[in-house]
Chain A
């Protein structure tokens, strides 16, 4: 070989003589590497993600064109299920209700979310930094807890119902479609807020400043420059909220359904669980229709926005318009107060009502709560199915978050940092579950577990089937976090490892992913919260003894139990807040201890 070392003079070369080539092998030549070639590993990751994402979809469509449920013998191909679906007046009503709900939810959340985002990032509303964080809260809180809190506060016979309708003269009927849309909008505002805020942070404030410099008044700039520039973001947010709204299951199940106001998802769930035949093909047909609508919206969104999700870089640039828009003392404080009242009414008061109803026998405006104080609800959930489901949920959320975070991290590495042939399909595969209604994942995996056995029946008769379904549903969140994180790490870092002799696997696991530790942590925590609080798919997969919190809560609610359910919801809220707090702590110490210049 070569002679690296020639003894000589000069700076720092006194040790040259010892720097002889040590006869190192040129690169990794381990047995593992020869047995599992790089491409094989990447293909395995790709196949795993593909199988998990498509598993619920394919059997569902198949089940919808069969004459009998998939477990029944003598099935034939037929479109009867679709005919039955479209001729059922109850389905038509449910579909109209769903559209009305989705349209109202979208409109309200767009106005509020965009308004909050513009006011918080472009004006001097007092407390706008704190508000910016609090507006996001409903997205992290357990959805079922929020619904139950709203019901306890504003529902028929709710604690504040009379105050709102009689004293404030607001015609709020939470069990009607518009009433449910008010709650839907409150839950969707964070989505709009986040998208608009990112768009505002990404647009150069110089555009607005230049309008000011040519003589436009601040208010005019807001109306003529800032808001029009938000149009793509509003379109994106609107389509996303609409897609999320048409699959709503919890809201109608708790509020509308008992009063006969069904949505498509609740109609399908009720038909599934209480029809003449168990699991009829008509439910699969309905779910397929819902899936088609969701896919159509996804394609539409892709067309309108360009297929590549663009990540806005918001570092270094002067982000805020110089000084922002000065509102004047009175409007400032009026708006600041209104923000506070909005947050109190939509988020804090419902959670407080939930907490209160977990420690009383009955929450009613007629009797002071301290006369009805009880710890019975908490004792009830400390045992039996409730306690069991809490343990199950935490297990699922922990294991699901760990596995999903790892798989998504590797899949993102294949998608963005490999030469694998099919890598470009991975981002689509990982974005897809966000657009699949939860009920479809539930029904789809139900059929998949039935058709693919093993491991189908083993998964079905344990909590791990539910874990798989909930993990698939949540994996898009992790992909969002990881793909943005990968974009911040220069590819030359892994190239340096490759040229140093590392295989793709070694470069990823020893260099790139360790650098991305903070992002992995964020992705884990978000997955944990998401899986912890999710329940839609589990409604179709649950078997006795393997309940999770959301499912046992809904089942108890249908049996008329409210107090213990409120206590369960508070447990969800508490775990969620604890997870965010712990992660926040870990995150800041890590950043401080390991700040990469």
Chain B
């Protein structure tokens, strides 16, 4: 499958800048996710690739085919781009059966009757819907409709698969199953996929690479681990799960690593990497902070004194709101702790600098 390259994409709706210089490449067989809050421009980007939105500037290419180029006035219509799309609403045609829905793109392509039938049934089998070929969409559940939409998008072997929040209409349990199933299918078939979502769990669990967007800009691009561990931008850190931010003075530790010192953490927090300038902000995930009961561990040097203000039980862990001096932090722990004095420790290397 060819790469998709988006370069310098911009679009304005009136005064609103919906897209601002968006550039990224989706490689062969890669699962790329556009992640961001609603209104961040992710769907506009996807629909620009699909050909349903016309950007104001930039280029979109698929292999050696130019989909869109504002400079040379190329704008291929949606039907000429040969992409498969699964819409958020699935957009299953209510007047056609499951078979009719999946067969439609092949009928457009004048595929002969026999190979059309074979191909449609193969694709339906692939999405485990072969037994439902004669049903009408209103006789299917949400999850089944989604599979039909996927089959319809795959049946003509499109160059790239585009997914617009396909799980948002499923309930939580089904969503998780559909996620795993789709990821496995994508991987097995080697489908180049662009996926749009606002759900960080979906993004982290399915993607090869994540592009985090906000307010029409790309803030961070990388593998799920990179984006989660080194968010670099405060917004990215906050959007992907909970995060604590600490601002303080930066010094250099004995082994060359940066050390951040704040009023609360006077002994310093070791951060891998360097930082220029006298002060900085770091991000620390709640699960990376070590917390222990302050009564037993009162030896000096083993942490910062703090006190638990509020505890909530979330099944697989506890979430604590902890006061350290004048500031409050979120801490996750498997261990139950009573409200009262505790000790906190931020191990070296878990914190990263953010802008």
Q: Which residues of A contact B (CB under 8 A)?
A: 1-6, 8-16, 18-22, 24-28, 30, 38, 490, 492-493, 495-503, 506, 510-511, 514-515, 517, 594-597
**CB-contact partner of B105 in A1, A30, A500, A503, under 8 A:** A500
**B335 sits at the interface (CB 8 A):** no
Q: Does the CB pair B185–A10 fall under 8 Å? A: yes
The digit string for B126-154, where 1 denotes a CB below 8 A from any CB of A, is 11100000001110000000000100110
Knowing A12-B185, A515-B93, A596-B94, say if A499 contacts B128 (CB, 8 Å).
no
**B83 sits at the interface (CB 8 A):** yes
Q: Which residues of A contact B136 (CB under 8 A)?
A: 594
B121 to chain A, nearest CB (A): 9
Q: Which residues of A contact B87 (CB under 8 A)?
A: 492, 495-496
Interface size class of B (residues with CB under 8 A): 35 or more
Knowing A495-B52, A498-B77, A499-B79, say if A13 contacts B93 (CB, 8 Å).
no
**CB-contact partner of A13 in B77, B81, B149, B189, under 8 A:** B189
Q: Does the CB pair B125–A15 fall under 8 Å? A: yes
Q: List 5 tightest A-B contacts by C-beta distance, closest first.
A: A597-B138, A596-B94, A500-B105, A21-B157, A26-B82
Q: Does the CB pair B108–A502 fall under 8 Å? A: yes
Q: Which residues of A contact B128 (CB under 8 A)?
A: 11-12
The digit string for B70-107, where 1 denotes a CB below 8 A from any CB of A, is 00000001111111110111010111000000001110
Q: Does the CB pair B109–A490 fall under 8 Å? A: no
Q: Does the CB pair B190–A24 fall under 8 Å? A: no
Q: Which residues of A contact B296 (CB under 8 A)?
A: none
Q: Does the CB pair A501–B189 fall under 8 Å? A: no
In the bound complex, what is the Cα–Cα distance between A595 and B94 (angstroms)?
Answer: 9
In the bound complex, what is the Cα–Cα distance between A493 and B91 (angstroms)?
Answer: 5
Chain B contacts with A in 257-308, Cβ cutoff 8 A: none
Q: Does the CB pair B138–A18 fall under 8 Å? A: no
Q: Which residues of B contact A515 (CB under 8 A)?
A: 93-95
A315 to chain B, nearest CB (A): 16
A39 to chain B, nearest CB (A): 11
**B119 sits at the interface (CB 8 A):** yes
Q: Does the CB pair A499–B125 fall under 8 Å? A: no
In the bound complex, what is the Cα–Cα distance between A25 and B158 (angstroms)?
Answer: 10
A-B contact count (CB 8 A): 155
Knowing A19-B126, A597-B138, say if A495 contacts B85 (CB, 8 Å).
yes
Q: Which residues of B contact A492 (CB under 8 A)?
A: 87-89, 91
In the bound complex, what is the Cα–Cα distance between A374 and B231 (angstroms)?
Answer: 95
Q: Does the CB pair A3–B190 fall under 8 Å? A: yes
Knowing A2-B157, A4-B157, say if A19 contacts B80 (CB, 8 Å).
no
**B251 sits at the interface (CB 8 A):** no
Q: Which residues of B contact A19 (CB under 8 A)?
A: 122-123, 126, 157, 189
The digit string for B1-45, where 1 denotes a CB below 8 A from any CB of A, is 110000000000000000000000000100000000000000000
14 A-B contacts (beta carbon < 8 Å): A3-B1, A4-B1, A11-B181, A13-B188, A19-B126, A22-B156, A22-B157, A492-B88, A493-B91, A499-B51, A499-B153, A499-B162, A501-B82, A501-B156
Q: Which residues of B contact A (CB under 8 A)?
A: 1-2, 28, 50-52, 77-85, 87-89, 91, 93-95, 104-106, 108-111, 115, 119, 122-123, 125-128, 136-138, 149, 152-153, 156-157, 159, 162, 181, 184-185, 188-192
Knowing A24-B156, A492-B87, A499-B50, say if A594 contacts B111 (CB, 8 Å).
no
Knowing A6-B190, A499-B85, say if A514 contacts B95 (CB, 8 Å).
yes
A507 to chain B, nearest CB (A): 8
Q: Which residues of B contact A10 (CB under 8 A)?
A: 184-185, 188
**CB-contact partner of A27 in B94, B108, B153, B189, under 8 A:** B108
B186 to chain A, nearest CB (A): 11
Q: Does the CB pair B94–A597 fall under 8 Å? A: yes
Q: Which residues of B contact A511 (CB under 8 A)?
A: 93, 95, 104
Knowing A22-B119, A493-B91, say if A499 contacts B185 (CB, 8 Å).
no
Q: Which residues of A contact B93 (CB under 8 A)?
A: 493, 496-497, 511, 515
Knowing A8-B188, A501-B79, A511-B93, say if A18 contacts B122 (CB, 8 Å).
yes
Q: Give the residue name and chain of the B residue nearest to A25 (CB).
A: B109
A413 to chain B, nearest CB (A): 16
Q: Give the residue name and chain of the B residue nearest to A594 (CB).
A: B95
Q: Does the CB pair A4–B190 fall under 8 Å? A: yes
